[in-house]
Amino acid sequence: MDLTRLSGLLAAYQRRDPAARSKLEILLLYPGVHALLWHRAAHWLYLRRRYFLARWISQHARRRTGIEIHPGATIGRRLVIDHGMGVVIGETAEIGDDCLLYHGVTLGGTGKDRGKRHPTLGNNVLVGSGARILGPFRVGDNARIAAGAVVLGAVPPGATAAGVPARIVRMRGLPADCAGDGGRTGVREELERLSRRVEALEKRRQPA
C-alpha cells in the first residue's frame, strides 16, 4: 500500500472513530488497519496464483487481529473495520470505497452457489455489528445494514435493511412504505387518519 493510500485510510479512521486521537495511534494499535495491510500482501500473492502463501498470510492476520479476510476478496479504498473482532470476508466478496464494517460482520455465502458466492458492497455502505450478508448479490451505494440483520437478497442504493431475514425499512431516509413517491402517500394517509380521528372525537363531544 503506497503512502498516499495509507494516509487516506488513516484519515478515514479518524473521521469515523471519535476515540482515535492520532494517525500514529491508528497505525500502531488498530487491528482493522493491520488486517488490511496483511490483506494487501495476501491479495497480491493470490492474484499471482501463490495460493498457499497467500492463505498463510491471511490466517496469520486472523490470529493476530481476529479479522478473517480471504486473500481473494477485493477491497476498495478507505475501508474502516471498527473494532473488527469476528469479521469474516469471503473469497469472492467485493467491497467498494469508504465502507464501514462493525465487529462480527460476515460477508459470506449460503453454500448453494458456485463461482461468485459472496456479496458485493457498493460505495459508502455501513454494516452494523453482527450483521450477516449471505449470497452473491449487491448492496447498493450508501445503503445501511442494521446490527444483527441477516441479508439474503439485494439491497437498493440508499436503502436501510433490518431484521431476520432482513427487509427494506427505509429508502433515502424515509420509511419504506412512503419512499416511492417522495413521502406524499404516507403523509396523505396520516393526515386522513388524523382527520377521521378528529371527526370521531368531535362527535363524541356533541350533546345527545
Q: What is the pLDDT of residue 190?
A: 62
Q: What is the pLDDT of residue 148?
A: 95
Residues 193 and 118 in one domain: no
Residues 137 and 100 in one domain: yes
Q: What is the CATH classification number for the domain harbouring 134?
A: 2.160.10.10
Percent of the chain with pLDDT over 90: 72
Residues 92 and 186 in one domain: no
Neighbours of 52 (CB within 10 A): 9
Residues 183 and 155 in one domain: no
DSSP 112: S
Mean of pLDDT values over 196-208: 75
Q: What is the pLDDT of residue 182?
A: 47
Residues 194 and 115 in one domain: no
- Asked if residues 168 and 174 have their Cβ atoms less than 8 Å apart, the reply is no
Within 13 Å and on the Cβ side, how many CA atoms surround 192? Answer: 6
Residues 148 and 190 in one domain: no
What confidence tens digit (pLDDT) does each residue in 138-186 have?
999 999 999 999 999 999 999 999 999 999 998 876 777 655 554 455 5
Q: What is the pLDDT of residue 2?
A: 75
With a cut of 60, say whether residue 53 has pLDDT above it. yes
Residues 155 and 196 in one domain: no
Residues 164 and 183 in one domain: no
Tell me which residue range forms the domain holding 33.
3-172
Mean of pLDDT values over 112-123: 92
Residues 77 and 141 in one domain: yes
Residues 180 and 150 in one domain: no
- Asked if residues 172 and 158 have their Cβ atoms less than 8 Å apart, the reply is yes
Residues 41 and 191: their CA atoms lie apart, in Å, by 58
Q: Which residues are 132's β-sheet partners?
A: 106, 150
Total-model pTM: 0.80
**Number of independent structural domains in the chain:** 2
Residues 129 and 204 in one domain: no
